[in-house]
Amino acid sequence: MYEEPSYFSAAADAHDELDRLRLLEHEYDPSTIRHLTDLGVGEGWQCLEVGPGAGSIARWLGERVGATGRVVAADIDPRFLGDLDEPNIEIRRLDIVRGELDTATYDLAHCRFLLMHTPDPEAVLRRMISALRPGGWVLVEEPDHVSVEAVDDNHPLAEKFNTAFRNRIRLVDEAGIMNLRMGRSLPSLMANVGLVEVGNEGVARIARGGDTTSLVQIPTWAAIDNRLLRDRLMSKAESAGTRQALEDPTFLYREQLMQAVWGRRPA
């Protein structure tokens, strides 16, 4: 994932962060791969994967494009990409905001959970588009956490969980940590940057405390809440209540809306 100095888990233990990234891949790779397949990614494609995390999508792309294709996995912190040793995959240390980027080169540029961490997402998106050759595709996936809510308002943890999440979305934005509503901005953002054949899909599933989705959420919100607790923006009770709900198998909640948007650079 992309890291600004304020990136919420920059100080996390490397093993813990790798575990968290792999859980994210387990949860979200299937839908990402479905979108990439629908876009026609295939033999010989040149692909740019920005903020590849632990590298699962870069590896899939490498297999998909074959020996005649190429994948550049670009990250400001590529420490979790050491096992990407396929000959058609290049690991590149790159700051997508300020670093030197190939132009008019790629058939595909993709990112996931990236723009929400950048101060100027439109500028980052325009840079990714500039890296595409005419007719190339960009696919962006970002969450909108406004959808997060308990399924059963009568559950004893529901009110505390819902209140904490509403407050967290506002506080995280005000503190400049990240934009937890980035997903809702994607369709208009993509339409504003001159793409054609723009499409989108948003999915929000029902999750249960203790399942894989919740296991991803627990360390993510713990890292974010540490910042909010340090700055006295959130109470320990709110943070603890969220974790209790995410660990309780009787607690059902609607997870964040995962918004995917794609478009093509005009030929």
Q: Is residue 8 assigned to a domain?
A: no
Highest mean pLDDT: which range of 13-22, 114-123, 164-173: 114-123
Q: Is residue 69 assigned to a domain?
A: yes
pLDDT computed for residue 255 by the predictor: 95
Task: Please state, for a pLDDT cut of 70, what percent of the chain lies above it.
Answer: 96
Q: Is residue 243 assigned to a domain?
A: yes
Beta-carbon contacts of 201 under 8 Å, excluding residues fewer than 6 positions away, are: 35, 259, 260
pLDDT confidence bin for 4, thresholds 50/70/90:
very low
Residue 241 sits in a domain whose CATH number is 3.40.50.150
Dig out the tokens for 154 from the structure.
């009568």
pLDDT computed for residue 266 by the predictor: 95
CA distance linking residue 234 with residue 170, whole number of Å: 11
Beta-carbon contacts of 75 under 8 Å, excluding residues fewer than 6 positions away, are: 1, 2, 50, 51, 52, 53, 81, 91, 92, 93, 94
Q: Tell me the per-residue pLDDT of 19-75, one tens digit each, with 9 for 90 and over.
A: 889 989 999 999 999 999 999 999 999 999 999 999 999 999 999 999 999 999 999
pLDDT computed for residue 230 by the predictor: 85
Q: Is residue 50 assigned to a domain?
A: yes
Q: Is residue 49 assigned to a domain?
A: yes
User: Of 47 and 222, which is predicted with more confidence?
Assistant: 47
Closest by alpha carbon to 159, among 55, 87, 241?
Answer: 241
Structural domains of the chain, count:
1
pLDDT confidence bin for 5, thresholds 50/70/90:
very low
Examine the pLDDT at 194 and tell me if it is beyond 50.
yes
Overall average pLDDT of the 111-117 stretch: 96
Q: Is residue 197 assigned to a domain?
A: yes
Q: Is residue 6 assigned to a domain?
A: no
Write down the mean pLDDT value for the chain.
92
pLDDT computed for residue 114 by the predictor: 96
Overall average pLDDT of the 84-113 stretch: 95
Asked whether the beta carbons of 263 and 190 are under 8 A apart, the reply is yes
Which strands sit side by side in the sheet containing 196-203, from one edge to the other?
89-93, 70-75, 46-50, 106-112, 132-144, 257-264, 196-203
Q: Supply the pTM of this predicted model.
A: 0.92
Examine the pLDDT at 235 and tell me if it is beyond 80.
yes
How many angstroms separate the Cα of 174 from the Cα of each of 49, 147, 241?
Answer: 29, 19, 22
Q: Is residue 3 assigned to a domain?
A: no
pLDDT computed for residue 206 by the predictor: 97
CA distance linking residue 79 with residue 100, whole number of Å: 20
Domain extent for 222: 14-264
pLDDT computed for residue 207 by the predictor: 96
Overall average pLDDT of the 207-236 stretch: 89
Residue 223: its H or E element: helix 212-230
Q: Tell me the per-residue pLDDT of 139-185, one tens digit each, with 9 for 90 and over.
A: 999 999 999 999 999 999 999 999 999 989 998 888 888 999 999 99
Asked whether the beta carbons of 63 and 235 are under 8 A apart, the reply is no
